[in-house]
């Protein structure tokens, strides 16, 4: 008696399915109008990312990591053993 949902079931799944089918049939041109500019913008972004040269993309990622943190983090190490490169000395402040 206290459990109303056991006795009365609201068919939300059937109603939702009916609304989606009706909108698919009757509002197709509206959905196509929304889809067209979004698909073109995503295709442009995808093309620019795929078309970028990998050294350019790697150098941009390196520069972003360098500016975000510092040389130590962007190289992923403090320096190689026995190396005398400038990257083994971490500057005090951020240079970006």
Helices (H), 1-96: 4-7, 12-26, 28-51, 54-68, 71-75
CA-to-CA distance for 65 and 12, rounded, in angstroms?
A: 49
Residue 4, in any domain of the structure: no
**Pair 76, 88 in one domain:** yes
Asked if 78 and 90 touch (Cβ cutoff 8 Å), the reply is yes
**Pair 42, 68 in one domain:** no
Weakly modelled stretches of the chain, pLDDT under 70:
1-2, 4-5, 70-96
Residue 3, in any domain of the structure: no
Residue 5, in any domain of the structure: no
**Pair 58, 81 in one domain:** yes
Token pair 């056991």 is found at 6
The structure's pTM equals: 0.38
Give the per-residue pLDDT at 77: 47
**Pair 57, 85 in one domain:** yes
């Amino acid at each position: 008696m206290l459990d109303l949902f056991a006795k009365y079931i609201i068919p939300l799944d059937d109603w939702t399915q009916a609304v989606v089918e009706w909108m698919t049939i009757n509002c197709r041109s509206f959905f196509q109008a929304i889809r067209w500019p979004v698909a073109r913008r995503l295709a442009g972004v995808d093309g620019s990312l795929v078309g970028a040269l990998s050294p350019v993309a790697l150098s941009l990622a390196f520069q972003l990591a360098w500016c975000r943190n510092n040389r130590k983090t962007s190289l992923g190490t403090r320096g190689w053993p026995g190396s005398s490169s400038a990257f083994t000395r971490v500057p005090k402040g951020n240079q970006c």
